[in-house]
Amino acid sequence: MKFLDEYRDEALAQKIVDEIRRVVTKPWVLMEVCGGQTHTIVKYGIDRLLPDEIELVHGPGCPVCVTPLEMIDKAHTIAQRPDVIFCSFGDMLRVPGSDADLLVLKSRGADIRVVYSPIDCLKIARANPEKKVVFFAIGFETTAPANAMSVWQARKQRINNFSILVSHVLVPPAIGSILQSPLNRVQGFLGPGHVCTIMGYREYEPIAERFRVPIVITGFEPTDILQGALMAIQQLEAGTHEVQNQYMRVVQRDGNSVAQSLVNEVFEVCDRKWRGVGSIPKSGYRLRHEFHEYDAELLFDVKEIDTQESSTCISGLVLRGVKKPQDCPAFGKQCTPEHPLGATMVSAEGACAAYYAYGRHLQATNAPRNS
Amino acid sequence: MHPETVNVDVGALLGACPLPLTDYKQIVLAHGSGGRLSHQLIQKIVLPQFRNQFLDPLHDGAIFRLGETRVAFTADSYVVSPIFFPGGDIGSLSIHGTINDLAMCGARPLYLSASFILEEGLPMEDFWRIVQSMHAAADAAGVNLVTGDTKVVDRGKADKIFINTSGVGVVPSGINIDPARAQVGDKIIISGPVAVHGIAIMSVREGLEFETEIASDTAALNTLVDAMLATKTDIHVLRDPTRGGVTSALSEIAQSARVGMLLNEARIPISEEVKGACEILGLDPLYVANEGKLLAIVSARDIDPVLSAVKSHPLGQQAAVIGEVTRDHPGLVMMKTRIGGTRVVDMLSGEQLPRIC
């Protein structure tokens, strides 16, 4: 397929792997920030192509994984109301709350729908004027413009039975939090290509400078990931710490200014809890006061819900690259893709889910590998 | 302890549900996905109640002897929505699916039954079209519909129309097709491009429009199987990769035969349109349903005549050898990826859910 197959080319991939082998002289720990990048790494077996010196740590960029339990409980409280049609991205449906997941709530009679775009919810709202349509607005800066647009359009079209439950998080504060941790092992980052498509990459420059880490804004196809890794390794070997743009065909330094201004019109920056990590200052978005009539958290009076997370689950440490999934006592035992304790076992992008499938293979073959 | 104070677990006494307490307490949609939850439901609840030599292999149908004749018997229900879709409808699908289940046992399909559950309010015109379509599909495949049933339920108690079909066929002597017969060194054939049916249905549901319409691949595979069996080779396994897709079908076979499998991603045929739709919808084509494709596992020695028989048939022109059966990692399907890496292609837990990013 045009514009995709070129980036999935075996010969090109092998050429980049050979170059990585040529330049690497010592062990390096790289973190790919995005869940989509993790997915590509697992799907194409990229970690098994890289030399043993390179360890890839799966970062906190799976929006499903980092949505805090209390926000999921809030979503479930709203979704169970008989007057509500609750809309969500697909992979959020299996994330367990304190009691159940959205699939179970659906089996108990809740009206829960998978949408590909929040704009689809406006159609649902128009078709069901007697119902309140709520969209679970999760994600990073990438999904923020479309989520903002849904609210902006709802106001413009005078749709007053639509609201969003906002659990938006931002990448740069999370990277800062990882780098400030005394347990940090990450030496270089594959930066979030789609987030930077919207936001540009100026805000990563002070991070690279302050913590002296290379950050390579990287795409999502296999050769993107490999090239991003090569660029980061070249910097590490040379002792530089710049922000580089591997994903040049999509990302510009200033990003998409139209999308940014829409996001700024609808959302404002706030402190946010991250699942397993805790609260990070100025790490998320909430609706601005002018858009409070679309804020499901206020409309359905769920602000007071405050849930504690499982004490067994170490997803927070996994998300920060401090621990590996196998280090968790519940991994593969109480916690499996069928019955995830934490969200890193739920999404195909989650580190624990990826290791679960991979680990079964390791048991079967005993093939040694570092990640 | 005084008997009155004993805390009796009533559930345990009455033969409580054997699923662990942490499992789902209600049926969720994922139990019908063909993935691991479907398996769990069958293995833990249904199978222990009925365990017998014909059911235990969990083949597409049961094979048993009546006198000297080996008979294959199968049943399937069809609940697809929308009921009319590009390339077919619920009627033709219900005939093809049951014929294919028989064909995957190596049987020549003979007689079918059809039971209809109709929702009050279904337009008569729709029912007429569906029945006509079933007639045409049965005629084309050379089978007779010989018995059936009709029930009507209140509006809202079903979704327009559900169809259950069952079928019987005869397995010719010398044919021994069984998932447990996959052997190390065998080659794996797919009869054509994958994921077409599932994407055709999803495109309609999601309102996606492509330059070329994606039409379902629904088709009766019995004549294709006839052509394969006519090669007089020893075909070990046949399976039509319906819900759960190629991955679930191969995982089941790998587990049942206690062998590993290694697929080669670059060899798996897929059309540009379906590939594009999968990219847009965030789905992995290997988990998407097919309704007119078969997987065949044959010894390396027999691969040439079988592949050539498949390719000579109109339904198998784009057939390909996509992998082989291995001694390593028994029970697991691995894949050499397009860029030369390897990964596990595991059975999905439940429905494939579109990813957020």
**How does the average pLDDT of chain A come out, rounded?**
90
Helix (H) or strand (E) holding A13: helix A10-23
- The answer to the question of residue B31 being in a domain is no
DSSP helix/strand/coil, A350:
coil
Residue ending a domain, choose from B171, B190, B212: B171
Domains of chain A: total:
2
Q: Which of B278, B308, B81, B15 is nearest to B189 (CA)?
A: B308
In a domain, residue B321? The reply is yes
Residue A283 placed within a domain: yes
Residue B38: inside a domain, yes or no?
Answer: no
* Together in a domain, A245 and A339: no
Are residues A28 and A173 located together in one domain of the fold? yes
Split at pLDDT 50, 70, 90, the class of A362 is low
Assigned domain for A371 exists: no
Does one domain contain both B124 and B192? no
Q: Which residues of chain B have pLDDT under 70?
A: 1-23, 353-357
Residue of A20, A34, A49, A103 to mutate when probing chain B, most B C-beta within 10 A: A103
Alpha-carbon distance of A174 to A166, in angstroms, equals 18
Residue A142 lies in a domain: yes
Q: Which of B144, B171, B198 is the last residue of a domain?
A: B171
Do A324 and A287 lie in one domain? The reply is no
Amino acid at A67: T
Shared domain for B194 and B248, answered yes or no, is yes
Write down the pLDDT at residue A360: 57
Cβ–Cβ below 8 Å for B356 and A64: yes
- B188/B309 same-domain check: yes
* Interchain proximity A338–B338, CB inside 8 Å: no
> What pLDDT score was predicted for residue B346?
81
pLDDT of residue A293: 97
**Is residue B278 in some structural domain?**
yes
pLDDT tens-place string over residues A96-122: 888 888 989 999 999 999 998 899 999
**Sign of dihedral through CA atoms A126, A127, A133, A136?**
negative
Q: What percent of chain A has pLDDT over 90?
A: 64
Looking at the structure, tell me whether residues B299 and B243 fall in a common domain: yes
One domain for residues A78 and A156: yes
The predicted structure's pLDDT at residue B202: 87
A188-206 per-position pLDDT tens digit: 999 999 999 999 999 999 9
Indicate whether B32 belongs to any domain: no
The count of domains in chain B is 2
Q: Within this chain, do residues B155 and B279 fall inside the same structural domain, yes or no?
A: no
Do B202 and B145 share a structural domain? no
d(CA A157, CA A126): 10
User: Residue A370 domain-assigned?
Assistant: no
Which whole number is the average pLDDT over A75-101? Answer: 91
Query: B135 with B118, same domain?
Result: yes
Mutate to test the interface with B, among A32, A113, A338, A339 (most CBs of B within 10 A): A338
Whether residues A247 and A332 fall in one domain: no
- A59 contact residues in B (CB cutoff 8 A): none
Burial (CB < 10 A; 0-12, 13-18, 19+), residue B124, is exposed
Q: How close B46 comes to chain A (CA, Å)? A: 19
Same domain? For A30 and A157 the reply is: yes
In a domain, A93, yes or no: yes
Mean pLDDT computed over A153-161: 97
| Boundaries of domain holding A208 | 1-312
pLDDT > 90? residue A224: yes
Q: What is the DSSP string of A78-147?
A: HHTSTTEEEEE-GGGTT---SS--HHHHHHTT-EEEE-SSTHHHHHHHHH-TTSEEEEEEEESTTTHHHH
- CATH value at residue B111: 3.30.1330.10
Q: What does the pLDDT read at residue A244? A: 98
Burial B220-259 (b: 16+ CB within 10 A, else e): bbbbbbebbbebebebbbbbbbbbbbbbbbbbbbbbbbeb
Range of the structural domain that residue B230 is part of: 179-344
- Whether B145 and B280 map to the same domain: the answer is no
- pLDDT at A368 (0 to 100): 32
Residue A79 lies in a domain: yes
Q: Please indicate, yes or no, whether residues A301 and A245 belong to a single structural domain of this protein.
A: yes
Residue A63 and residue A102 in one domain? yes
pLDDT at B14: 37
| CATH code assigned at B260 | 3.90.650.10
Residue B22 belongs to some domain of the structure: no
Task: Among A260-264, A284-288, A291-295, A341-345, name the one with the lowest average pLDDT.
Answer: A341-345
**A335 and A308 part of one domain:** no
Q: Are residues B189 and B285 in the same domain?
A: yes
My answer on whether B196 and B166 are in the same domain is no
Do residue A214 and residue A84 come from a single domain? yes
Please give the pLDDT value at position A264.
Answer: 98
User: Could you give the residue ranges of the DSSP H alpha helices within A239-370?
Assistant: 257-266, 296-299, 315-319, 351-365
Amino acid A349: pLDDT? 62
Residues A278 and A214 in one domain: yes
d(CA A46, CA A228): 12
Per-residue pLDDT tens over the stretch A274-309: 887 788 999 999 999 999 999 999 999 898 888 887
* Residues B330 and B233 placed together within one structural domain of the fold: yes
Chain A residues with CB under 8 Å of B251 CB are none
Q: What is the pLDDT of residues A158-190, one digit of tens each?
A: 999 999 999 999 999 999 999 998 889 999 999
Contact B353 A338 (CB under 8 A): no
The H or E element that residue A37 is part of is helix A35-44
Round to whole Å and give the CA distance between B291 and B315.
12
- Whether residue B50 lies inside any domain: the answer is no
Domain identity same for A52 and A178: yes
Could you tell me which chain B residue has the CA closest to the CA of A365? Answer: B329
Could you say which of B135, B153, B171 is where a domain stops? Answer: B171
ipTM over 0.85: no
B120 and A CB contact within 8 Å: no
Q: B132 with B227, same domain?
A: no
Residue B356 falls inside a structural domain: no
Inside any domain, residue A369: no
Is residue B187 within 8 Å of B300, Cβ to Cβ? yes
CATH number for A174: 3.40.50.11740
